[in-house]
Amino acid sequence: MTNQNIAASNAGTFKIGEDLTVNRLGYGTMQLTGKGIWGEPRDPEEAVRVLQRAVELGVNFIDTADSYGPFVANRLIKKALHPYKDDLVIATKVGLTRCGPDDWRPVGRPEYLRQQVELNLIDLGLETIDLLQLHRIDPKVPLAEQVGELELLKQEGKIRHIGLSQVTVEEFKAANTITPIVSVQNLYNLANRESESMLEYCEANNVAFIPWFPLATGELAKEGSPLANIAKEHGAHPAQLALAWLLKRSPVMLPIPGTSSVSHVEENIAAAGITLSDEDFNTLTNAVKS
């Protein structure tokens, strides 16, 4: 594929909350930070270039979180892209605190969630967060208190829409009685489809489904595997086929592959232009049982 053919818009669009139209292939910022999702990146200037290149290629949905760094990814977004394009949707998350590299701990106390929303607004240079996601439900705090505080912030104009991350259908339904939930971000990829029931619920109710870790392929990508063979037929890399599979799997699917390399972000976005036949899609689907 030539650069002229690389465009996130090739993935088609989806309306989050019925009013935020985004190209279905987005970008996730977790890999822009240091080792263990902690501290500054090894090459901060390349991180800025990655963000700028993603937007140049049509990405208008960027997923981040205050816990990435912490705060490092948000500040890189502001440095690279502020003032933001009118159609750029930045989704961020609160509810996980950090105590060191690869250390993630849920904290859902209302005062903490409010503080983190305010800090996201400052670090991103926003007046309103288009999509604020509860990064994890804190089992030590009643769900109504966690989601209820986000609803209060929404009423105050600091949040436009509310989403959840790593939840079950039952948890979604419970939260949705407190405030409208427009998105779910769960672990989901070609090799791990344990959230299939959540995806099916989202599709039935036109809720955005944002798969995290979308490029995981594991043994599926080894030489001679169906994924590797179909990738060769398309002149593509296995990771690109994994993204193409996600995009074909459901119209509510919004993959957010992350990377710290400009060449890799171009490669990922090129996957939006790959069209899988029904036969290839079914072959990949059946390669691993959910």
Active site residues: 68
Residue 279 CA to residue 271 CA, distance in Å, equals 18
Q: Taking a C-beta distance cutoff of 8 angstroms, is the pair 72, 120 a contact?
A: no
Closest CA to 30 of 87, 85, 88, 96: 96
- Give 274's DSSP letter: -
* DSSP string across 128-186: SEEEEEESS--TTS-HHHHHHHHHHHHHTTSEEEEEEES--HHHHHHHHTTS-EEEEE-
Closest CA to 80 of 62, 103, 97, 107: 62
What does residue 71 show for φ and ψ, rounded to 5 degrees?
Answer: 70, -10
Coil, helix or strand at residue 13: strand
Q: Please write down the HEC assignment for all residues of 138-153.
A: CCCCCHHHHHHHHHHH
Q: Taking a C-beta distance cutoff of 8 angstroms, is the pair 141, 97 a contact?
A: no
Q: Taking a C-beta distance cutoff of 8 angstroms, is the pair 118, 72 a contact?
A: no
Torsion, CA 229, CA 234, CA 236, CA 241, rounded to 10: -70
121: amino acid identity, one letter: L
